[in-house]
Every structure is written in structure tokens, then in C-alpha cells.
Amino acid sequence: MSAEHAPVVLTPCPDGPILVRGDVEIRDAAGRTVPRRRATVALCRCGASGIKPFCDGSHKAIGFRTDDEVPRPDEPVPAPGPRAEHGGGAS
């Protein structure tokens, strides 16, 4: 990463990946840095990519759909509610 950090922008694409722009380090589940070869990368959110965490376009082949309503830049984003804890037992 550079000494002068670029702002990070995440853009969810309808029925597709999340575009990541800016100076951000991506890590895998084990905490290892995932190399980026481009300034803008597309992260898979359909789960079908063969090059995870990056998108390979598989969302189109499997008919992945999102029901995201992306807020407009001039609209405030609501704060997330409390996280539900799952104890692992049946309810």
C-alpha cells in the first residue's frame, strides 16, 4: 500500500460482484494477504467463482440474483442493528 492512501470505495453490482476501488488490503480466511494485480477488483459474492475471492463471471451462468437496494450517495446509510448470536442449538 502507498504512503498516501486512496479512499476505498465498495460498489455492489446488481446480480454480480462487489467492485473494490482504492488502497485496501484483501486477506483470506487464514489472514494471508491476497495479491491484487489491478487497482479495481471484483469480489465474488455468488460463491461459484473458480478464482475466489475474485469474480470470474460465474454469477451469470448460475443465474445469481441479489435483492440489494443500494443507497444513493446523497442518502444516509442506516446503522446496522444488533447482531444475532447463534448458540448452535435448536430453537
Q: Per-residue pLDDT tens for 68-77? A: 666 565 655 5
Residue 70 domain-assigned? no
CATH code of the domain covering residue 34:
3.40.5
State the residue range of the domain holding 31.
9-62
Residue 67 lies in a domain: no
Cβ partners under 8 Å of residue 89, min gap 6: none
Domain annotation covers residue 21: yes
State pLDDT tens for residues 40-82: 999 999 999 999 999 999 999 999 999 866 656 565 555 555 6
For residue 62, give the H/E element and its range: helix 58-62
The residue type at 4: E
In this prediction, residues 12-34 reach a mean pLDDT of 93
Q: In total, how many domains does the chain have? A: 1
Q: Whole-angstrom Cα distance, residue 25 to residue 15? A: 24
Question: What CA–CA distance (Å, rounded) separates 14 from 68?
Answer: 7
